[in-house]
Amino acid sequence: MSDQDLIVTVSQEFEFHAAHFLAWHPGKCKNLHGHSYRVQVDVQGPLDERGIVIDFDELSDVVWREILEPLDHTLLNDHLDNPTAERLGIHILRKADATGLHLSEVRVWETAKSLAVVRRALQ
């Protein structure tokens, strides 16, 4: 039986710690403060001859080494303007694109209760 009717997604989670401030925020978030950011990335696609979408090791190498490690224990405002969870998710997706890794979705939790989800618009 063909599996062409199925969509397969590989997903990995990461954590990093960073400071930021949001100059526009009317409340306490305009002050310098930190978060333990949780990031989940998805890659969607067909299975290759190994039966995988992407090797978990390759995915974590790119996402951690190329994108998140440079942000870890830094001030996010030094890397991008107005580092909201939404803009951080876009930053991660675009950085991954630049390495040739096309993420289908990025989720960024600033706190246990608050997250932003970035996904590609349907073409």
What are the residue numbers of the active site?
A: 29, 73, 110
Alpha helices for 7-121 (secondary structure H): 56-60, 85-99
80 contacts ligand LPXRUNBV (rule: CB under 6 A): no
**The total number of residues written for the chain in this structure:** 123
Query: Of 78, 9, 82, 76, nearest to 37 (Cα)?
Result: 76
Nearest-approach distance from CB 63 to Zn ion, in angstroms = 21
Tell me whether residue 33 or residue 120 sits nearer to ligand LPXRUNBV (CB atom): 33
Tell me whether residue 22 or residue 54 sits nearer to ligand LPXRUNBV (CB atom): 22
The half-sphere exposure of 55 on its side-chain side, counting CA atoms within 13 A, is 6
Q: Rule CB under 6 A: choose which of 46, 65, 114, 117 binds ligand LPXRUNBV.
A: 114
